[in-house]
Amino acid sequence: MNKKVIYYSDPVDDDFAGTKIKQIDIGPDFPFINRNPFFRLASFILYYFIAFPLITIFCFLILRLRVKNRKALRKARGTGYFLYGNHTHFFDAFTHSLIAFPKKSYVIANRDAISIRGLKQIVMMLGALPIPSGMEAMKQFTRAVEERWRKKKAIAIYPEAHIWPYYNKIRPFLATSFRYPVKLNSPVFAMVTVYRARKIFKKRPPKPTIHISEPFYPRTDLPCQEAKQELRDRVHAWMTDCIEKHGSFEYIRYEYRPN
């Protein structure tokens, strides 16, 4: 089979999601947490009784998803926690909810997630925490993340930021997003998606397996900046080792081509 080849020049900022969505602005008055009781009831029903069953069927029966070591999450049953994953498929927007169940899982997302006309409220009900623009809005966003964590929810983060479809390695990523678990002294779990080649229907996309790490904890004996970087390095090293240990099928070939 001739593999599709994608050329990249920047492993941090190149984005191959293929979406052309005009992003809306998110100001300090944006309702990162909607306290309207009718909204909250609708969110509960949509999340647990409509979206979750559909996501379960799609991921396990159609994508043939497998999840390994999900039992590790029991070690953080009584607290909120953060999930850090590699970003290789549109289904990343949903799989964190399967992994964290029965906890509700929120996902830190870019503004594309709420910029599609008519879908903003649905996306928010399903757990999106869109990253705003501007310092004042960022303060409100950070408070929302911390409040969700204090209510013992799971928060998913994809630190690679951009989708590289079916990429079978771990890309470099910044330590910026690790400020949340460092500040909150929160457990962190890495989740790594690797791909299994199909034995029949070989031209179809490969099947995903998500591996869950044991919990990581921030170093409390280090200054904040050092603690963020140290935690990032441990998570990145585990993710890289996981890919090397289990292997990930190359469905699309990525080749470096400088600008």
CATH number for the domain harbouring residue 211 = 3.40.1130
What is the structure's pLDDT at 117?
A: 77
Q: How many domains does the chain have?
A: 1
Share of the chain above pLDDT 90, in %: 81
Domain assignment present for residue 24? The answer is: no
Quickly state the pLDDT bin for 27 (edges 50, 70, 90). Answer: confident
Domain assignment present for residue 13? The answer is: yes
Average pLDDT of span 113-119: 80
Quickly state the pLDDT bin for 112 (edges 50, 70, 90). Answer: confident
Domain assignment present for residue 28? The answer is: no
Asked whether residue 38 carries a pLDDT value surpassing 90, the answer given is yes
Quickly state the pLDDT bin for 165 (edges 50, 70, 90). Answer: very high
Domain assignment present for residue 25? The answer is: no
Domain assignment present for residue 165? The answer is: yes
**pTM assigned to the model:** 0.94
Q: What is the DSSP string of 63-101?
A: S--EEE-GGGGGGGTTS-EEEEE---STTHHHHHHHHHT
* Omega of the bond leading into 102 within 30 degrees of 0 (cis): yes
Domain assignment present for residue 37? The answer is: no
Domain assignment present for residue 93? The answer is: yes
Q: Name the 3-class secondary structure at 216.
A: strand
What is the structure's pLDDT at 210?
A: 98
Q: How far is CA 153 from CA 104, 106, 131, 148, 188, in A?
A: 6, 7, 18, 6, 12
Distance CA 253, CA 8 (A): 11
Q: Name the 3-class secondary structure at 196.
A: strand
Residue 194, domain extent: 4-19+42-256
Per residue in 248-259, pLDDT (tens digit) is 999 999 999 987
What is the structure's pLDDT at 1?
A: 61
Least confident of 23-27, 29-33, 72-76: 23-27
Per residue in 139-156, pLDDT (tens digit) is 999 999 999 999 999 999
Residues 6+ away with beta carbon under 8 Å from 27: 132, 134, 136, 137
If one compares 115 and 129, the residue with the highest pLDDT of the two is: 129
What is the structure's pLDDT at 28?
A: 86
Residues 6+ away with beta carbon under 8 Å from 109: 93, 128, 129, 130, 131
Helix (H) or strand (E) holding 207: strand 207-212
What is the structure's pLDDT at 135?
A: 87
- Closest Cα partner for 211 from 248, 252, 182, 162? 248
Average pLDDT of the residues of the chain? 93
Beta strands in 14-148 (DSSP E): 66-68, 81-85, 105-109, 128-130
Share of the chain above pLDDT 70, in %: 98
Asked whether residue 62 carries a pLDDT value surpassing 70, the answer given is yes
Beta strand 207-212 with 188-196: parallel, antiparallel or unpaired?
antiparallel
How many of the other CB atoms lie within 10 Å of CB of 65?
Answer: 19
Percent helix, strand, coil in the chain, to 5, is: 40, 20, 45
Asked whether residue 215 carries a pLDDT value surpassing 70, the answer given is yes
Average pLDDT of span 38-67: 96
Contact status, residue 80 vs residue 147, Cβ threshold 8 Å: no
Quickly state the pLDDT bin for 116 (edges 50, 70, 90). Answer: confident
Domain assignment present for residue 188? The answer is: yes
Asked whether residue 78 carries a pLDDT value surpassing 80, the answer given is yes
